Amino acid sequence: MEEMYVEWSRQARSALEKPVPVRFNRGIRSVIVAGMGGSGIVGDVLSTLSSNYSSLPVITVKNHILPGFASREDLLLVVSYSGNTVETLRVFDSALERNIPMVAVSSGGLLKTRAYEHGIPHIQLPEGLAPRASLPSMLYGVLKLLYENNLLNIPFKIVEESVDFLEEKTGEAMAEAGLIAEWVHRSKGLLVISTHSPLESLGLRGKNEFNENAKIPVKVDVAPEWMHNDIVGYEEPFFKDFTVLEVVDPGDRVGVMLVDFMRTIYGRVTKSFHRLVLEGGSLLDKILYGSMVFGLSSCKLARMRGIDPLKTASIQEYKKAAG
């Protein structure tokens, strides 16, 4: 599965080369992204980018309910790698009933079939990948769609440069991933990803990758919100076995300071720390670099544990039960 991550720059490049399936001739109030798990993360990352670059508001829906406020002034992006995820299909059906403008994104499945049946524009993803490993195809496909419809304030140069950056940094990301995997494997405590705003989506991405690829539970702690609740949990520690992976943007002095402070508190319960310093010039570079390191390190950890990173038996069991 590691090779899927190593190919990320190629995925991104080919997503940017594809023509967009639709052009809107009117303004859009907000973008709503519906998707679960490895597909839903597209909405989280887009939301981080839109806040940072003051683009359109992006709302992420990670359930089966199309928000009541969604109207014909919005754009709904329905993202499901397989195209068969029940929650995402429900949102699609509700949007059809309510006449909400939308674009579907999938490698196939019922979502693609229904999109074609109802004349809904569809972005085709490459087949044969794990949903979570196809992040660049989904993200760059959507970024291009938004850009070509004048809905993105991010200079397109930043988007294009991030692809070259990804290519350049793949070797470095692999080396960093090896260190992290070995360290987590040795440490054994509950993995805590300790980071700072605006890296919430990256922290979540890290959790999901270690959950799904390495099959371990993970906690995500984000400063400064952490300072207003979690911090108290370390006053009289009840659980004592933690492995803290710090993720910092070196260009964010306050963020680094906050993560340093968190370390002084975790220090009461663990001595096991590793710091991932994000590489890159733009926020997009940094999120992608971190995501690639998480993808690769969680796969490597799975191998060290003698586990197949690709298989997600419990998710499949749930999907079967959910119908």
Q: Interface residues with ligand PA5 (CB under 6 A)?
A: 36-39, 80-82, 85, 88, 130-132, 212, 312, 315
DSSP state of 306: T
Smallest distance from ligand PA5 to CB 319, Å: 7
Which position has the token pair 């294009």? 160
In the complex with ligand PA5, the residue whose CB is nearer, 30 or 312, is 312
**Smallest separation (angstroms) from ligand PA5 to the CB of 212:** 6
Select 208 or 270, whichever has its Cβ closest to ligand PA5: 208
- Least CB distance to ligand PA5 at residue 196 (A): 25
**Position with the least CB separation from ligand PA5:** 37
Nearest approach in angstroms of CB 308 to ligand PA5 is 13
Complex with ligand PA5: residue 210 or 266, whichever CB lies closer: 210
**Alpha carbon distance 222, 114 (integer Å):** 39
Please identify, using beta-carbon distances, which residue of 187 and 312 lies nearer to ligand PA5: 312
Residue nearer to ligand PA5 on the CB measure, 82 or 170: 82
Strands (E), the chain: 31-34, 58-61, 75-79, 102-106, 122-124, 190-196, 218-223, 242-248, 273-277
Query: 79-118 burial, b for 16+ CB within 10 Å, e for fewer?
Result: bbbbbbbebbbebbebbbeeebbbbbbbbbbbbbebbeee
Enumerate the H helices of 54-155 as residue ranges. Answer: 86-97, 109-117, 135-148
Taking the complex as a whole, the smallest distance from the CB of residue 236 to ligand PA5 amounts, in Å, to 36
Give ∠ CA 288-262-223 in degrees, rounded to 5. Answer: 55
- Report, in Å, the least distance between residue 137 CB and ligand PA5: 12
Residue with Cβ nearer ligand PA5 (111 or 244): 111
Q: What is the DSSP string of 53-78?
A: HT-S-EEEE-SS---TT--TTSEEEE
